[in-house]
Structure 1
Amino acid sequence: MPEPLRINQAYRPKPVDYFVKRKYIHTKLSTRRYKMPELSVKKAKHIKSHILDIEFSDGEHRLVDFAPFIFSVGHPDYERYKSESGFLTFKIEDGNLNWDDYTMIFPVEDLYSGKLAR
């Protein structure tokens, strides 16, 4: 069993400690950068109301309900998306869902988790 740290001992990270920052993995002992795979939206299919089935570049599918976000935000630019016809005007551009030239857009990571910030 390893000895417990004494009060005067400083913690020194082991070489296997990793830090994830801006899609790169850094190790304490190496300056090499390993690019993590880019996550992007490949397809989106309307299910009902404000729910989309989104397919991502890694092959995963997520059902995302946009209604809680759209109806809780009081911004006038989002009023047109409260109707189903306005909501369905989205396009997939640069690997992300985009409404009306970036009027409404979400981080791909939020779409992947299925939780949209309000």
Structure 2
Amino acid sequence: MVIEINKAEYLEDYKIRFEFSDGEQHIIDFIDFLKSAKNPMTKKYLDKKEFKNFKIEFGDIVWNEYEMCFPIWDLHEGKI
């Protein structure tokens, strides 16, 4: 079975609620990942305006034309 993200909804701070094609739902908080990032291209997403600017493409969440993305399975498991 191929798992895809059907919906991603910004909640607050750095939290996004995900709904997956198998019916699973998870809320992921990205703050620890972003704070510990070494790459300035990733750290720029600490700016909430940038962080909120994501979209779903081909069943995956992406920021700025794949500048930042995550393995779908990790998100499905509720971790990054």
Q: In 2, Cα distance between the equivalents of 1:67 and 1:78?
A: 12
- Cα deviation for residue 79 of structure 1 reads 2.6
Report whether the alignment pairs 1:67 with 2:31.
Answer: yes
Aligned pairs for 1:1-118 (under 5 A) are 37-116=1-80
Question: How high is the TM-score relative to the length of structure 1?
Answer: 0.66
Query: Greater CA radius of gyration, 1 or 2?
Result: 1
Structure (1 or 2) with the greater helix fraction: 2
Identify unmatched segments of 5+ residues in structure 1. 1-36
CA RMSD of superposed structures (Å): 0.8
Cα deviation for residue 60 of structure 1 reads: 1.1
Deviation at 1:74, TM superposition (A): 1.3
Runs of 4+ with deviation above 3 angstroms:
none
AA in 2 matched with 1:86: E
Q: How many residues align?
A: 80
How far apart are residue 83 of structure 1 and its match?
Answer: 1.3
